[in-house]
């Protein structure tokens, strides 16, 4: 029979091993893609025939694909700016005020996260098809993605607001600062990491969102619909390359974000 301390050490090792195993599974597909992006035979890993940068060259020369990346980035930026712009005031209202039906509003704000993308996508699609003068395309995609990003902003920002002591803002106003100045100089800096995290989440969610875009983007080609076409009807090499490039860009952004602000606590403070 092992002693209690041995058992607790064993348990610790088991937890470490489990964590490593889970991380390995999380990373397995990414490693496959990174390897394939430089593999001569981009269809599958075995047999491995050699290393090449030809797929990168072909991808960077594909104007349509790069155009769709630009479209996606534009849509993600506009959608997350909009989500942040409407989400921060809503968070302030929910946390700082006794809002009538605040629970109902809180649930409503979270709904875009839990209504399946297929359902929301077709709901928006059949609505705009029926309305005169609106067609699926750029603007509907931005708006649909803004709604999709809203819960991330509100959850992160209101959690932060709840944790921030607002007596400082009161003090600032007592000292004669206007409400807007007090908000800008006192409250906003305090919640800035959460606002930034919310924006980042909303941006990434939009950038990688497929199903809603599939239904409402119309003839605006976004990266995910283009990738879906490549997946179903096209060639794999470019998919691997785009994925690897996106991975590296996001790795840098995330590393910077995690160093600059406490993304983890912002993300996990939601509960």
Partner 1 sequence: MGDTDSVLGRLVGSPRARLAALLAPSGGLLVALLFAPLSFMVAVSFARVSDASRIIWHPTAANYTALVDATPFWSTPFVTSLLLSVGIAAATTVVCLVAAYPVAYALARRDRGRRVVFFLVLLPFFTMYLVRVYSWYLLFGDGGVLNDIATVLGVGPVDAFGFGVPAIVVGLAHAQFPYMLLTLYAGIEAVDFDVLEAARDLGASRRAVFRDVLLPLTLPNVVAGSLFVFVPAFGSFVAPRFLSGSTVLLVGQLIAGRIDSFNIASASAAATVVVVLIAAAFGVAARYTDASAGGDH
Partner 2 sequence: MSPRQPDASDADAPADTTSDAGHPHSTVGRRSFLAATGAAASATTLAGCLGGTTGTPTINVLTWEHYARDDVAAAVEDAVDATVNVTKSISSEKMFAGWQAGKDQQFDIAIPNNNYVPKFAAAGLAAPVPVSDLDSYPAIYDFFKNAMDTQLAVDGTPYGVPIRFGYYGYGYDSRAVPDHDPSWSVLFDGIDGVDLSSAVALYDNHFKAMSAAALHLGFRDAFDGDRITLSESQLGAVTDALIDQKQSLLSGYIAGDASFVKGITKGDFHVGHTGRMNVTNMRADGTDWIEMATPTEGALSWFEAAVVSTQTDHPDLAWEVVNEYIAPETGATLAREGHAPSVNPETTAHLSERRTELYGAIDPARLADMIPSKAVANEDAWRAAWERVKTA
Interface with partner 2 (CB under 8 A): 43-44, 64, 135-137, 218-219, 229-230, 232-236
Helix/strand/coil for 166: coil
CB 150 within 8 A of CB 83: yes
- Identify what 235 binds: partner 2, partner 1, none; CB under 5 to 8 Å per kind: partner 2
Establish if 107 lies at the interface with partner 1 (CB under 8 A). yes
What is the DSSP secondary-structure string of 4-27? HHHHHHHHHHHHHHHHHHHHHHHH
Neighbouring CB atoms inside 10 A of 199's CB total 23
Q: Least distance in Å: CB of 58 to partner 2?
A: 13
Quote the least distance from Cβ 87 to partner 1, whole Å: 6
According to CB under 8 A, which one of 6, 9, 10, 28 is a site residue for partner 1? 28
3-state helix, strand, coil split of the chain in percent (to 5) is 80, 0, 20
Per-residue x/- track, 59-98, partner 1 (CB under 8 A):
-----------------------x--xxx-xx-xx-xxxx
Encoded tokens for 10? 């064993």
Q: Which does 234 bind (CB under 5 to 8 A by kind): partner 1, partner 2, none?
A: partner 2
What is each CA distance from 178 to 95, 158, 171, in whole angstroms? 20, 23, 11
Contacts of partner 1 in 142-201 (CB under 8 A): 143-144, 146-147, 150, 154, 166, 169-170, 173, 179-180, 182-183, 186-187
């Amino acid at each position: 029979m092992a002693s209690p301390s041995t058992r607790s050490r064993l348990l610790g090792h088991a937890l470490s091993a489990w964590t490593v195993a889970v991380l390995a599974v999380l990373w397995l597909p990414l490693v496959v893609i990174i390897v394939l992006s430089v593999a001569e035979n981009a269809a599958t890993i075995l047999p491995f025939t050699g290393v090449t940068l030809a797929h990168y060259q072909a991808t960077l020369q594909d104007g349509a694909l790069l155009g769709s990346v630009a479209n996606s980035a534009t849509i993600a930026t506009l959608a997350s700016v909009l989500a942040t712009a409407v989400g921060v005031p809503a968070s302030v209202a929910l946390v700082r005020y006794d809002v009538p039906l605040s629970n109902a509003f809180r649930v409503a704000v979270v709904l875009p996260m839990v209504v399946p993308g297929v359902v929301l996508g077709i709901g928006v699609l059949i609505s705009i098809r029926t309305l005169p003068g609106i067609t699926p395309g750029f603007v509907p995609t931005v708006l649909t993605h803004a709604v999709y990003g809203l819960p991330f902003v509100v959850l992160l920002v209101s959690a932060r607001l709840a944790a921030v002591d607002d007596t400082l803002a009161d003090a600032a106003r007592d000292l004669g600062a206007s409400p807007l100045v007090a908000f800008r100089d006192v409250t906003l800096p305090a919640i800035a990491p959460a606002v930034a995290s919310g924006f980042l989440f909303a941006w990434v969610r939009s950038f990688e969102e497929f199903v809603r875009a599939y239904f409402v983007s119309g003839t605006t080609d976004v990266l995910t619909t283009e990738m879906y076409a490549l997946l179903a009807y096209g060639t794999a090499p470019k998919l691997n390359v785009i994925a690897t490039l996106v991975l590296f860009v996001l790795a840098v952004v995330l590393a910077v974000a995690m160093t600059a602000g406490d993304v983890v606590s912002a993300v996990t403070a939601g509960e």
